[in-house]
Amino acid sequence: MSNESISVAAPQSTRPASDTSAAKTLIEVDNLDFYYGKKQALCDINLEIPEKLVTAFIGPSGCGKSTLLRCFNRMNDLVDVAHIGSGSIKIHGVDINSKNVDVIELRKRVGMVFQKSNPFPKSIYENITYGLKIRGIKKKSYLDEVVERSLRGAALWDEVKDRLHDSALGMSGGQQQRLCIARAIAVEPEIILMDEPCSALDPIATAQIEELIDELKTDFTIVIVTHNMQQATRVSDKTAFFYLGKLIEYDDTARLFSNPDNKQTEDYITGRFG
């Protein structure tokens, strides 16, 4: 067991670690309690997510990672029974749950990529321009430009540039997921939330997405949920470990994996439960 812990803890990626201490806080979670009906899904979460870095959420199934992630763009509004008990979430210091926040504008600034790739049953081109079209942007030359920029940004341009008007559903799973990323970045959000974006992909497609995440972080703040410890160590700068709706430990990724403060964290990352 102990040798496994060492192998996981050793940093797998050779890229230089970002300086996490200097980064400015973008998302600030204060004493957040969250409920599904009467059932509490998150209790007393306090968390500060830094700008232009990758933050990973890990933890066993059902611990509330997705729930917290979906609080950041208020996707939980779609669930009838979901509601915040107390506490707040601030982005740039603005409470996103306050009455005068327009959820539509919020979601424009906080994009999301889902576990199962979900391109619309439309062409590749229409998928990317969707976010702009719903905001009434129709200018062809501008749309063309955005499509190219986003697809290049998602490392997909060379693969699909000749079939932009084919259905997006004819693409491979990995391509579809990168299309979803391209669709998210087309509206130039500040934050991209990713909920297990690679769980349905093979190792090669996963590697491509991870590489992409690394490139995207120069422009975007990324929060990613993952079940894959190696992935967390490879892509993230900071990691938060959740257990039973509580934030157990939150630290620089390198530190959390090599030298966790908490016994539960250690047990989880060494595979003793989860």
Ligand X SMILES: Nc1ncnc2c1ncn2[C@@H]1O[C@H](COP(=O)(O)OP(=O)(O)OP(=O)(O)O)[C@@H](O)[C@H]1O
Binding site for ligand X (CB under 6 A): 36, 41, 59, 61-67, 79, 81
Classify residue 89 by burial, with Cβ atoms within 10 Å: 0-12, 13-18, 19+. Answer: buried
Asked if residue 66 binds Mg ion (CB under 5 A), the reply is yes
Of 10 and 79, the one with the shorter C-beta distance to another protein is 79
Task: Indicate the helix (H) or strand (E) that contains 31.
Answer: strand 25-36
Binding to another protein by CB under 8 A, coded x per residue (else -) over 120-139, reads xxx-------xx-xxx----
* Contact between residue 243 and residue 60 where contact means Cβ atoms under 8 Å apart: yes
Part in contact with Mg ion (CB under 5 A); list of ranges 23-31, 61-69, 88-96, 264-272: 61-69
- For another protein, the closer of residues 184 and 247 by Cβ is 184
Q: Which does 118 bind (CB under 5 to 8 A by kind): another protein, Mg ion, ligand X, none?
A: another protein
d(CA 47, CA 117): 28
Sheet containing strand 221-225, edge to edge, reads: 110-113, 191-195, 221-225, 54-58, 238-243, 246-252
Indicate the residue among 62 and 271 with the shorter CB distance to ligand X: 62
Q: Looking at beta carbons only, is 127 or 206 nearer to another protein?
A: 127
254 Cβ partners below 8 Å, 6+ apart? 11, 17, 233
Q: Which is nearer to another protein, 11 or 37 (CB)?
A: 37
Return the number of other C-beta atoms located less than 10 Å from residue 12's C-beta. 13
Parallel, antiparallel, or unpaired for β 191-195 and 221-225? parallel
- Out of 114, 155, 188, 228, name the contact with another protein by CB under 8 A: 114
Q: Which residues contribute to the site for another protein (CB under 8 A)?
A: 73, 75, 78, 104-108, 111-112, 114, 116, 118-122, 130-131, 133-135, 167, 169, 180, 183-184, 187
